Amino acid sequence: MVLDGDAHRHRKEMFLSLVGAEALQRFSDLFAEHWRQAVLRWATKDSVVLLDETHRVITAAVCEWAGLPLAPEEISARAVEFAAMVAGTGAVGPRNWRGHLLRARTERWARRTIEEIRSGRREVPLGAARTVATHRDADGRLLDVKTAGVELINVLRPTVANARYVVFAAIALHEHPHWVEALRNGDESSRQRFALEVRRVFPFIPFIGGRVREPFEWRGHAFRVGDWALMDLYGTNHDPDRWQAPERFDPDRFCTDAIDAFDLISHGGGSAADGHRCPGEGITQTLLIAAADLLVRSMRYEVPPQDLRIDLAYIPARPRSGCVLCNIRPA
């Protein structure tokens, strides 16, 4: 859905109202709680694929956070649906069809949930599900059930997509093991820097497309209204004119390098409130900070030989192996 003007601002306010500091703290706590439970399960297995497992952990956490806690036997099925939708985002062919197929199932669940909340058959605490179910559009009308269901999924699905960032954090720790100790002994600001650098260095959506709304010229190229343009998010985060040694993973660069709204643009550029920048950025940053802590403190594990290469042509990007961990012990 691409909106502009009042309708866009109004919809954006709804998303941003969900991610205030208190809500993010609660999300972080729930993520940690579900992660710690999962570690006990992982410890009974020879190995786990971290990407798949993190999809489950985040699904359980975000649904509970939204006011829709899942029964344990429901978590895997919902996680598989969200993961398939995420994988289908940038795909053509079977990966995309599977995403669509499973999306239809999730949309039925979301519509049913909206109807139950509205009719009073389901009581939900304050949170994303209630906010979306009772949200009125810029003209004061309740969203139709289908749109409200899609908006609910628009909160849950991209949050589950953050499993990729958790896996990127695990790869960063594997490739730069001195950061394990640095995070174990570090404070909140070291986790903040680590999270920012994971978001800068690793690709998620390498680029996005959009239409030009106001004509402008850039490096001799004229962009006219209506032209399609591609924004190179990954390239901008690795621009050697902006970042010193851009290929180096160095969270401490943020000790001295102050960033503005157009520097680190994996979630878009500019302001979230006034432009199209992602309203979910706080969720990603919060989750990565929690994951940085949990990966080094909640468990010990080994990373067996595997193909951790990340293909930039696969959108959203992920390591080929999904990041296998073995010999997991709770710490």
Per the CB < 8 A criterion, the answer to whether 206 and 179 are in contact is no
**What dihedral angle (degrees, nearest 10) is formed by the CA atoms of 239, 244, 245, 246?**
-30
111 lines the binding site for ligand HEM (CB under 6 A) = no
- Shortest Å distance, C-beta 268 to ligand HEM: 3
Residue closer to ligand HEM by CB (options 253, 267) is: 267
* Distance, CA of 331 to CA of 44 (rounded, Å): 14
Per the CB < 8 A criterion, the answer to whether 287 and 34 are in contact is no
Q: Which of 236, 266, 285, 286 binds ligand HEM (CB under 6 A)?
A: 266
- Shortest Å distance, C-beta 128 to ligand HEM: 8
48 lines the binding site for ligand HEM (CB under 6 A) = no
Per the CB < 8 A criterion, the answer to whether 323 and 50 are in contact is yes
List the x/- string, 64-83, binding to ligand HEM by CB under 6 A: --------------------
Which region, judged by CB under 6 A, interacts with ligand HEM, from 167-175, 213-221, 240-248, 268-276? 268-276
- Shortest Å distance, C-beta 166 to ligand HEM: 10
**What dihedral angle (degrees, nearest 10) is formed by the CA atoms of 125, 138, 286, 173?**
130
C-alpha 62, offset from chain centre: 11
Q: Which of 28, 59, 106, 162 binds ligand HEM (CB under 6 A)?
A: 162
Residue closer to ligand HEM by CB (options 28, 154) is: 154
Which region, judged by CB under 6 A, interacts with ligand HEM, from 68-76, 101-109, 113-121, 153-161? 153-161
**What dihedral angle (degrees, nearest 10) is formed by the CA atoms of 49, 51, 56, 60?**
140
Rg (CA), the chain: 20
Q: Which of 279, 301, 319, 322 binds ligand HEM (CB under 6 A)?
A: 279
- Shortest Å distance, C-beta 83 to ligand HEM: 12
Q: Which residues contact 231 (CB under 8 A, 6 or more apart)?
A: 207, 208, 209, 210, 265, 269
159 lines the binding site for ligand HEM (CB under 6 A) = yes
205 lines the binding site for ligand HEM (CB under 6 A) = yes
Residue closer to ligand HEM by CB (options 28, 284) is: 284
**What dihedral angle (degrees, nearest 10) is formed by the CA atoms of 272, 277, 279, 280?**
-140
- Which stretch of DSSP H or E encloses residue 189? helix 188-201
Which region, judged by CB under 6 A, interacts with ligand HEM, from 76-84, 133-141, 264-272, 298-306? 264-272
- Shortest Å distance, C-beta 280 to ligand HEM: 2
Polymer length of the chain: 331
Q: Which residues bind ligand HEM (CB under 6 A)?
A: 12, 15, 154-155, 158-159, 161-162, 204-205, 208, 266-269, 276-280, 283-284
